[in-house]
Amino acid sequence: MGVFYNNAICDIYIGKSAGAKLMQDIRNAKRNVKIVSPYLSPFLIKELIDLHSRGINIRLITSDEIEDFYGYDKNIHKLIIQHKHVDEKAKETRDSLVSLSGTLLFAMIGLGVVLIPLIYLLNNFKFAYGFILIALMFFVRDSVVKKIKRTKVYHYTYKQLFPFKVFVSPNSGNSFNKTFIHSKIYIIDDEIAYMGSLNFTGSGVKDNHETRIRTSDPNAVSKIIEEVKEIFYHSNLVERDVQFWGSQLYEEPDN
């Protein structure tokens, strides 16, 4: 990874609200938006979700230092879609066990209702032996209920709403990853590129004193696109697995 390009034609901005023009260009995108930003804010993730819903192709590279992990507005979670799959054979087995459990419970209650009046009305405690049968049915039903709980009817897979990479930060204590993707790169419609200090966060685009350049120089944009593609596909950095991550974000009832 790495690129050098000389004599690019670009606009330079330094100061607050460095992201005003950037956000305008992103919202006016006609085909695609590519973003590299180690930090993200939830409401800006929502901007990407809205763009995706309009048919704009999104590609995102970020880190697990996302603000969204620590706040209440969990838009990053909306980027991972859960699919629930049914094991029909297991479901059939589970349903049969549930039916058997219900039958045993009904039989236990029914037998108890019959035995108690017989004991007291006939004053014959021999009918109390019937409670041995109830006890046996109780243990059988308990075994059935445990088997129901062990029967997994559903399993889950996850997919991304649009292509994105979440690289594991060296700050996480991962000894295999010493490189932190700290770049901030924005490409709109493969025609406009931004680079600078501003993250895709509220403070970055509005409040902080930031630096950024904007270029529509075709050669420069082409070089930047290639670098983003290299990071996305060939970085060899440790990244969050969407299947594991999804399992942490969503509940996964077994049956």
Does 171 share its domain with 54? yes
pLDDT digits (tens, 9 = 90+) for 162-215: 999 988 877 766 556 678 889 999 999 999 999 999 999 888 998 899 999 999
Q: Same domain for 93 and 214?
A: no
Same domain, 66 and 96: no
pLDDT at 175: 53
pLDDT digits (tens, 9 = 90+) for 13-42: 999 888 999 999 999 999 999 999 998 888
* CB-based burial label for 63 (10 Å; 0-12, 13-18, 19+): buried
pLDDT of residue 114: 84
With respect to residue 249, please indicate whether it lies within any of the assigned structural domains: no
Residues 137 and 166 in one domain: no
State which residues form the domain around 60.
11-79+161-240
93 is a domain residue: yes
Pure H helices in the chain:
20-27, 42-53, 88-122, 130-150, 202, 218-234, 242-249
168 lies in a domain?
Answer: yes
Cα–Cα distance, 210 to 187 (Å, whole number): 18
Q: Is residue 97 part of a domain?
A: yes
Closest CA to 31 of 59, 10, 62, 11: 59
> Per mean pLDDT, which of 9-23, 60-74, 108-122 is the most reliable?
9-23
- Number of domains observed in the structure of the chain: 2
Q: Is 169 found in the same domain as 71?
A: yes
165/74 same-domain check: yes
Tell whether 2 is covered by a domain: no
Q: What is the C-alpha separation between 165 and 59, in angstroms, rounded? A: 8
Residue at 127 is within a domain: yes
Domain boundary among 130, 152, 174: 152
The CATH number of residue 23's host domain is 3.30.870.10
The answer as to whether 228 is a domain residue is yes
